[in-house]
Amino acid sequence: MVLERNSWMNRIWKGYLKHFRHNPVRDGALYLVLIIVLILYSTVVVLQPILVSSCEYPTPSESPFSNPFYNTSPCQRLRYVELLGLTPLESMIGRRTLFAVVMAALIGYERRSPDRPAGIRTMAVTALGACCFTICSIFGFESSAMEWDASRVTAAIPSGVGFLCAGLIWKGFVGQGSDRSHQVTGLTTSASVWLSAAVGASSGGGLYWISFFSTLAIILILRFGPRSSGMDEDGPGHTIKHPYDENRSISATDSDRNALQEITPLLRPEVIQSLDQEQKEKEKRRSHRSVLRTDT
């Protein structure tokens, strides 16, 4: 099908290619294949209880493990064409992973709206990692020569993610002159990343309700919860006017507002245009030198 020049599909494709810089067509086609595969398998794992009927194989009376709740049904290991080659166990793992990413993305969206340092990608990746660690802790050592402690890997997630969260907390100065004081920022965003890991771990363990309830609770707390006046979590929020566009506003903390006042002279349209022109000339000279090296 030939896309018309001004068709909506053509506009979507051009907007999609803007995510790639070096070779947009090749990289865009590759990632498009990955997106299609992800959508197909996500649909399959969600619809697995409907696509696969009940299994007729009998369940063994004795379990090889001491856990009385361990599912010993052989049907969990069978591969089905309806599931694109997946087993019901793998479909269940896929549902847990997908649920963890979606819940964490909701938390990240709430943090993204006030321009916090950790957004959708940070929260989703953190929850995905915690979910994968939990799933590996549960199912990754079934074939080992001895019984394993399924909680050992998961128990290390809070401390590991806590080290990551420490990078989001910093202490700065607020105000000027005699009103200048210390302020700790990033505490709430750091705690949100930590909670995203907990949501991922609970999703990996199949505790969907606690993941869903925790996500709803943290979103409402972050949006409507009272702010501390002393050691504020992310700094008191302010809505200030854009320096050169009266129809726009910027959400900023005290430190952001002070920094914006310092860089406002650099935001003038003529300065930005001059910087853009200078950058284009540098790229043109760089590409010209690379062509000369290739010819020689």
Q: What is the pLDDT of residues 101-134, one digit of tens each?
A: 999 999 888 877 655 667 888 889 999 999 999 9
Measuring CA to CA, which residue among 97, 96, 118, 94 is closest to residue 107?
118
**Per-residue pLDDT tens over the stretch 32-84:** 899 999 999 999 999 998 888 777 777 666 666 666 666 667 778 788 888 88
pLDDT of residue 232: 45
Give the residue-averaged pLDDT of 126-148: 81
Q: Which residues contact 108 (CB under 8 A, 6 or more apart)?
A: 118, 119, 120, 121, 122, 123, 124, 196
SS (H, E, C) 189-254: HHHHHHHHHHHHHHHHCCCHHHHHHHHHHHHHHHHHCCCCCCCCCCCCCEEEEECCEEEEEEEECH
**Rounded to an integer, what distance in angstroms lies between the CA atom of residue 270 and that of residue 275?**
9
Would you state the torsion angle of the CA atoms of residues 131, 137, 142, 148, taken in this order, to the nearest 10 degrees? -160
Name the residue type at position 108.
G
In tens, the pLDDT along 211-226 reads 999 999 988 888 887 7
Residue 254: predicted pLDDT: 47
Quote helix, strand, coil % in the chain, to nearest 5: 60, 10, 30
**Higher confidence at residue 275 or residue 164?**
164
Q: How many CB atoms lie within 10 A of CB 162?
A: 14
CA Rg value for the chain: 26
- Looking at residue 166, its pLDDT comes to 84
Q: Which of 10-24, 160-174, 189-203 has the highest mean pLDDT?
A: 189-203
Q: Look at residues 120, 83, 99, 49 and name the one whose alpha carbon lies nearest to residue 204.
A: 99
For range 11-40, the mean pLDDT: 85
Q: What is the pLDDT of residues 230-285, one digit of tens each?
A: 444 454 444 555 555 555 555 555 445 555 555 555 556 665 666 667 777 877 77
Q: Is it the case that residue 158 has pLDDT exceeding 80? A: yes
More confident residue, 7 or 103: 103
What is residue 145's predicted lDDT score, i.e. its pLDDT? 60
